[in-house]
Amino acid sequence: MTNKDNSTPTLTPEEFFKVRFINLFKDLGENATKDPETIWLIGSLAGSIIEENQKKSWKEFKLSLSKDAYDRLLAALKSQGNNLAQQKNFKAAYAVETLAISIIAPTMKKDEHLAKGNKLLDGMIGDAIEFYRSKPATNSKPN
């Protein structure tokens, strides 16, 4: 799809999401071991969400969301992420964005690559939760 002046391609919302999803996945894969603090933040936020909702896993939590709960959660994550970015707390904002992308992924058009990536992302978030639980806030955060 292109703009009316044929100068620059315009992405549909689904295409834009897929590009962002792929970039997030690539970034997590390349940098997870280099930035344990961000992984801890992802695990902390996801862990808090599943504990508050009395679910056993991130995947179980996502599957339990009603449309209304999904909309409320995305609005809260958007607000929280924007506030964190304005405060220049970019690692925490990235953690919020990661969870928002994970929540949105299953709602995209049936896309085989997104479906596989979503399963892997759920696993990565599950690993981040385990990492967070192994290094609670009472200890110093990882470097």
What residue spans define the domains of the chain? 13-134
Both tokens of 110, joined, read 């049936």
Choose among 54, 122, 116, 83: nearest CA to 130.
122
Look at residue 140 in the predicted model and tell me its pLDDT: 45
Q: What percent of the chain has pLDDT over 90?
A: 68
Q: What is the length of the chain?
A: 143
pTM, 2 dp:
0.85
- The string of pLDDT tens digits covering residues 13-48 is 888 999 999 999 889 888 877 899 999 999 999 999
Count Cβ atoms within 10 A of the Cβ of residue 70 and give its class: 0-12 exposed, 13-18 middle, 19 or more buried.
middle
